[in-house]
Amino acid sequence: MKSPKSTSNHPILLLLEECRTLKTLKQVHAQMITMGLILHTFPISRILLLSSILAPPYALSIFNQIQHPTVFLFNTLVSSLAAQDYTHVSFSLYSRILSDKTLRPNNFTYPSLFKACGSHPWLDHGRALHAHVVKFLEPTSDHFVRASLLNFYAKCGKLAHSRYLFNQISAPDLATWNSILACYARSSTANVVGTNAASEDTGLAVEVLSLFGEMQLSPIRPNEVTLVALIGACADLGALTQGTWAHAHVLKNNLSLNRFLCTALIDMYGKCGCLHLAKQVFDQLPQKDTLCYNAMIRGLAIHGHGQQALDLFNTMTYNGVRPDEVTIVVVISGCAHVGLVEEGRKLFLSMKEAYGIEPKLEHYGCLVDLLGRAGRLKEAEEIVRAMPMKPNAVLWRSLLGASRVHGNLELGEVALRNLIQLEPETSGNYVLLSNMYASINRWDDVRRVRKVMKDQGINKMPGCSLIEIGGEIHEFIMGDRAHPHSKEIYLKIEEISKRLNAYGHRPSTKEVLFDIEEEEKEDALSYHSERLAIAFALIFSTSSVPIRIIKNLRVCGDCHATTKLISKIYHREIIVRDRSRFHHFRDGACSCLDYW
């Protein structure tokens, strides 16, 4: 089957391109048969492509009448059908290529199939296809095959595979850059629980910034997709300077400030502690979808503006924007942080009937947290016992935390037993119970819990704090002396301690490890990671700028108390994002009203 030059620009093909219905397509098809064009590869590839879009069954009927279809014709139909989510038909055609001893798949066969395999239930087929690439193609393959493989593994969350393939591409195009950046950004977000910014996870977000820096040195210019990934990484890191730069880049280069970019910006400004800027972006967006509302409500919730979060939710539903599962989670979470118990409980009870959303584990977790924070522990426990699915570690940890705050030791022990079964190696669970025992001076029980941790080789997760100054991110770990300005930082810590003492502050050492002397306990508190970050900021940042810190753990009681005093003594606003919420310290008070 050949296509002489005259067939590639035949007038009948112009008629074919104008077909918009199956009826007109069949008329042109009949003319192609009459004129013999259907015997040539290029004309038949055009009718296969168009008919596969208008009427896939008709395209298959044409294809099945071809006696010896070439790989080119197979590829044409496979690519078109895969793009329209006829994945099973595309793989059926691919199987016919493999079963035909005269045919062999080539570089054009695989990219569309890999693209179709990026979601369940086709993931395993994608992995099998990779083996076929190794079998049928040259070891190096070509750019498009490697790029499609990279994109497939990126969608699967296989970061190491994606990065390996990316490193094999000598001159990545924009789509390839976007794939690897999005893979890192998604992995970073997936590893961050709530607003947790653990050191092992922030490395992924840092890599996004590093890769973007490399991209800027290449001829490739970023587009909206690139910047969504970049802004998402800035949100995870609390990198306000880089996030603001990305926003300015969008405006300067006249990129489309679409709802995806706006949602990313709202989320970034919210997570960087600039709620007013998040609100500005939100208010300027003419058409707001569910994701935009979710980002803004989440920002209000984690900053402790529960009533405003609830009000915005009511505005959202009034405007006809339908809430989803995430909306319910962030609204109830916002209620939990400010004690709006009945409002959050009412929303949970109405979510199925009012919005058609079946409660999931996440929703039960929010309800348990809502009740637990308010001291309604018996009710929270009853919910955990009666819920239709097996409670996970998040629910039991909420109960354990609430038991500690409200002094319910019996329930705390029950929660810990269940937590140990689900997460035997998570140090935070043991630490919570140990601190509960310490708060009521049950030191034998503290020793018992610590001994279990030691015997099982479980180490307490170190506190880690990030702070951005001058566009550079600095990381501090409890007792860390690795920072190049460590000497100045520790001198500043001494100064802060003296000024705190002058204000009458006495460290609360009950939650510090029991097996060290009282004076050493006070030193241990002084060297918590956020204290080091605050000291560094007091030395090297402008006094008119708020100090913004991201911490991977919940702020301890003593650090919370001292940070309030530091904000008053040094006349500085200090914004701390811990694993559960934001704390805005100003003039000796905190926005959480000591409810966190």
Question: Which CATH number fits the domain that encloses residue 389?
Answer: 1.25.40.10
Ramachandran sector of residue 433 (left: φ over 0; alpha: ψ -120 to 50; beta: rest): alpha
pLDDT of residue 569: 95
- Separation of alpha carbons 440 and 508, rounded Å: 13
Please provide residue 119's backbone torsions phi and psi, each rounded to the nearest 5 degrees: -145, 160
Taking the C-alpha atoms of 323, 325, 330 and 332 in order, what is their torsion angle to the nearest 10 degrees? 90
Q: Compute the half-sphere exposure of residue 278: CA atoms within 13 Å on the CB side of its CA.
A: 27
- Which residues, other chains included, contact 142 with Cβ-Cβ below 8 Å and sequence gap of 6+? 107
Residue 289 lies in a domain: no
Residue with more model confidence, 522 or 145:
145
> Are 27 and 113 members of one domain?
yes
In total, how many domains does the chain have? 3
- 17 plus 105 within the same structural domain: yes
| Nearest Cα to Cα of residue 555 among 575, 534, 577 | 577
Task: Say if residue 555 is in the same domain as residue 537.
Answer: yes
Q: What is the pLDDT of residue 229?
A: 95
Please identify, among 114, 138, 162, the residue that sits at the C-terminal boundary of a domain. 138
Same domain, 516 and 578: yes
Q: DSSP letter string over 401-441?
A: HHHHHHT-HHHHHHHHHHHHHH-TT-HHHHHHHHHHHHHTT
Give the HSE-up count for residue 399: Cα atoms under 13 Å, Cβ half-sphere: 28
Q: Say yes or no: 134 and 10 in one domain.
A: yes
d(CA 286, CA 271): 23
Pair 438, 511 in one domain? no
Both 489 and 536 in one domain: the answer is yes
DSSP 468-518: EETTEEEEEETT---STTHHHHHHHHHHHHHHHHHTT-----TTS-TTS-H
Instruction: Tell me, yes or no, whether 87 lies in a domain.
Output: yes
Could you tell me the end-to-end alpha-carbon distance of the chain, in angstroms, rounded to an integer? 74
DSSP H or E stretch at residue 179: helix 174-191
pLDDT for the residue numbered 573: 95
Whether 139 shows a pLDDT value over 80: the answer reads: no
Mean pLDDT (whole number) for 397-404: 86
**Is the pLDDT score of 189 beyond 50?**
yes
The owner of tokens 């990934």 is 229
Which whole-number Å values give the CA distances from 251 to 255, 256, 257, 262, in the listed order? 6, 8, 8, 12
Picking from 36, 80, 39, the residue whose alpha carbon sits closest to that of residue 59 is 80
| Tokens describing residue 121 | 């239930």
Residue 354 inside a domain? The answer is no
Quote the CA–CA distance of 419 and 426 in Å, as a whole number. Answer: 9
Give mean pLDDT, residues 446-464.
82
Residues 199-228 have a mean pLDDT of 88
Q: Each residue of 558-586: pLDDT tens digit?
A: 889 999 999 999 999 999 998 888 999 99
Q: Judge whether residue 522 has pLDDT over 50.
A: no
256: tokens are 């489309």
| Matching residue, tokens 């009521």 | 440
Residue 191 located in a structural domain? no
- Are 133 and 105 in contact, with CB atoms under 8 Å apart? no
- The closest of 134, 145, 131 to 176, measured between CA atoms, is 145
Peptide bond preceding 121: is omega within 30 degrees of 0, i.e. cis? yes
Domain hosting residue 367, numbered range: 360-461
Answer whether residue 442 shows pLDDT above 70: yes
Contacts of 445 (CB under 8 A, 6+ apart): 437
What is the sign of the dihedral through the CA atoms of 121, 122, 123 and 128?
A: positive
Instruction: Give percent above pLDDT 70 in the chain.
Output: 92
Q: Which two tokens stand for residue 227?
A: 């910047």
* Res 6 pLDDT > 70: no
pLDDT exceeds cutoff 60 at 192: no
Is residue 413 domain-resident?
yes
Report which of residues 140 and 210 the model is more confident about. Answer: 210
pLDDT in tens, 35-85: 988 889 999 999 999 999 999 999 999 999 998 999 999 999 999 999 998
CB 310 within 8 A of CB 301: no
Name every residue whose Cβ is closer than 8 Å to that of residue 595 and which is 6 or more positions away in sequence. Answer: 337, 338, 339, 373
| Domain shared by 521 and 582, yes or no | yes
Instruction: Give 399 or 316, the one with higher predicted confidence.
Output: 316
In a domain, 99, yes or no: yes
Residues 402 and 443 in one domain: yes
Output 504 or 546, whichever has higher pLDDT: 546
Whether 151 is covered by a domain: the verdict is no
Are 585 and 480 in the same domain? yes
Residue 594 has what DSSP assignment?
T
291 within some domain: no
Task: Report the chain's mean pLDDT, rounded to a whole number.
Answer: 87
> What integer pLDDT is reported at residue 409 of this predicted model?
86
Helix axes 341-355, 361-373, angle to 10 degrees: 160
506's torsion region: left (phi>0), alpha (psi -120 to 50) or beta?
beta
Residue 581 token pair:
């919420």
Which of 116, 138, 160 terminates a domain? The answer is 138
568 and 481 together in one domain:
yes
Task: Specify whether 36 is located in the same domain as 96.
Answer: yes
Segment 381-387 mean pLDDT: 92
- Pull the structure tokens for residue 418: 């269940």
Task: Assess contact for 317 and 354: CB atoms under 8 A.
Answer: no
SS3 552: coil
- 461, 484, 517: which is the final residue of a domain? 461
